[in-house]
Amino acid sequence: MFTGIITNLGKVITKTNQTLTISTTGKFLSKLKKGTSISVNGICLTVVNITTQDFAVNLMPETIRRTNITKADLVNLELPVTPQSFLSGHLVQGHIDGIGKIEQITSQSLKVALKPNLARYLIDKGSVSVNGIALTVIKAGKNYFTVGIIPHTFTQTNLHTLKKGGYVNIEVDILAKYVKKYCHSGN
């Protein structure tokens, strides 16, 4: 479980069908152990190897199918919450629901197109995770959403590297998924 408050950036050094290797700061690496869960662009992954310059995580076919990470990408990193963590974002599982296409991005806002089967989980003022970043939906449309971006988030995450036409990992609010299932279960 994560909060969507990004604490570090990393760079994808290698990507295969089974492994991602990511370089980052020594200070961040010192907090990792084999078996540690880590959010990489919003994807909950498990650390399998650590060196003084990078760490590696395994990829499953489902992860590759639902997400968007390529070699040389600058990625958002977050360690999991603990009972002592300050929960300043929102609950992010790291279970990516799909990818969205950037329709517009500025230092203050982001508009993302996505399939209606994901868009139906979003509401105005609701929560969404974009590349692991906890954001608040401003406008939820039938096949898009917009969010506002504060300057700190824009500069301290990989948002400042994204371009129109690029893709981002999307995790919709887990509570919305449970409510939909409950309402459609006939209970």
pLDDT band at residue 86, thresholds of 50, 70 and 90?
A: confident
Question: Average pLDDT of the chain?
Answer: 94
What's the Rg (C-alpha) of the chain? 16
- The CATH class of 98-182 is mainly beta
With a cut of 60, say whether residue 103 has pLDDT above it.
yes
In this prediction, residue 126 has a pLDDT band, given cuts at 50, 70 and 90, of: very high
Fold assignment, 8-78 = Elongation Factor Tu (Ef-tu); domain 3 (2.40.30)
Cα–Cα–Cα angle for 139, 144, 148, rounded to 5 degrees: 45
187 pLDDT higher than 60: no
* Residues 61-72 pLDDT 10s: 999 999 999 999
What pLDDT score does 88 carry? 79
Residue 83 has pLDDT above 80, yes or no: no
Q: At 187, is the secondary structure helix, strand, or coil?
A: coil
pLDDT tens, 130-151?
A: 999 999 999 999 999 999 999 9
For the cut 90, the answer to whether the pLDDT of residue 182 exceeds it is no
The answer, yes or no, to whether residue 183 has pLDDT greater than 60, is yes
Number of continuous H segments (helices) and E segments (strands) in the chain: 5, 12
Contact between 10 and 40 under an 8 Å Cβ cutoff? The reply is: yes
pLDDT 10s digits, 8-52: 999 999 999 999 999 999 999 999 999 999 999 999 999 999 999
| Ranges for all domains in the chain classified under CATH 2.40.30.20 | 8-78, 98-182
Q: What percent of the chain has pLDDT over 70?
A: 99
Report residue 69: phi and psi, to 5°.
-140, 135
pTM of the shown model: 0.93
- What are the Cα distances from residue 184, in Å, to 79, 119, 177? 34, 17, 11
